[in-house]
Structure 1
Amino acid sequence: MKIGELSAATGTPVETIRFYEREGLLPVPRRSSGNYRIYGDDHVARLAFIRHCRSLDMALDEVRVLLRFKDAPQSDCGEVNRVLDEHIGHVAHRIRELKALEKQLKGLRAQCHASQEAGACGILEGLSQAATQTLEAVPPRPAAGHHIGRTHGRH
């Protein structure tokens, strides 16, 4: 099958397929006499595996490790367990961050109970105050021509 057919069969955009090829996640397909990429069922299965991992929010490096073990079925899967355990930790961390974000947004929402003029909107006022506090927390940038850090000499 050609790349468009692989795209349709897996619901994966053509550019994503090409990206996965460049990243080494998908094996290079053979070429037709007209120089078209020709994909097989193994590409469909591998792409489905990659997409499922990505739907679980796994990073490409995590997927790469999993594929390495999938390609070597006699290998010990201890590293696979480690990759998944680390990913679970990242997901738990993101959930905590998202809960904090939800709390912050609900606090903003509580500042405006009824429709009114935008100039009196508690949400807009709260966003403005938070933006001002963020700016105040940013350290000033050095003036043009002043460099902080490494010098231009040998290291």
Structure 2
Amino acid sequence: MTIGEAAAQSGVSAKMIRHYEAIGLIDAQRRPNGYRAYGAQDVAVLRFIRHARDLAFPLEDIRRLLALWRDRTRASGDVKDLALAHVAALETKAASLQAVADSLRHLAQHCQGDDRPDCPILAELEGPKP
């Protein structure tokens, strides 16, 4: 099938398919005319990548997950360890984002929001005076 057909069946854009090919996540066959040719297994890999991206896995983790998925002798514990490490990273990032949101909320509460030029939000972004 063509890249457009693979994109439609997998839910991954043609641009992203080309990117995944360029970084080695997928290896499309080439026809004699140079066009890419995709099969059912390629679409399955693309769906796998799309689902992993939906779960916010970074590309290097997706590369590891693909290797584990393809390895029928894998230990499920290896997959679980990778998933739990990702959960920990997401929780750390969520806590950091919550702290940022709390800081901005605090600054916004102290901003009068009127016609005066004084604004604690801008003063905070400006940083301390030397």
Q: Scaled by the length of structure 1, what TM-score is found?
A: 0.74
Report the 3-state secondary structure (helix = DSSP H, G, I; strand = E; otherwise coil) of the residue aligned with 2:115.
coil
Report the 3-state secondary structure (helix = DSSP H, G, I; strand = E; otherwise coil) of the residue aligned with 1:120.
coil
Aligned to 1:82: 81
Percent identity, please: 32
Is contact 2:57-2:86 (8 Å) kept?
Answer: yes
Report the Cα offset of residue 19 of structure 1: 1.8
Is contact 2:29-2:37 (8 Å) kept?
Answer: yes
CA distance in 2, matches of 1:89, 1:123: 31
Q: Structure 2: which amino acid aligns with 1:73?
A: R
Structure 1 residues 44, 116: closer, same or farther in 2, change over 3 A? Answer: same
CA distance in 1, matches of 2:114, 2:106: 17
**RMSD between aligned residues:** 1.9
Larger radius of gyration: 1
Higher relative contact order (CA 8 A, sep 6+): 2
Aligned to 1:54: 53
Q: Deviations over 1:96-148 (max 9, x none)?
A: 1011001111011112243323x2233323333xxx23x86xxxxxxxxxxxx
Q: Structure 2: which amino acid aligns with 1:52?
A: H
CA distance in 1, matches of 2:20, 2:4: 15
Q: Scaled by the length of structure 2, what TM-score is found?
A: 0.87
Is contact 1:4-1:14 (8 Å) kept?
Answer: yes
* Equivalence map 1:5-154=2 (5 Å): 5-26=5-26, 28-117=27-116, 119-128=117-126, 132-133=127-128
Q: Structure 2: which amino acid aligns with 1:34?
A: N
Q: Which has the higher helix share?
A: 2
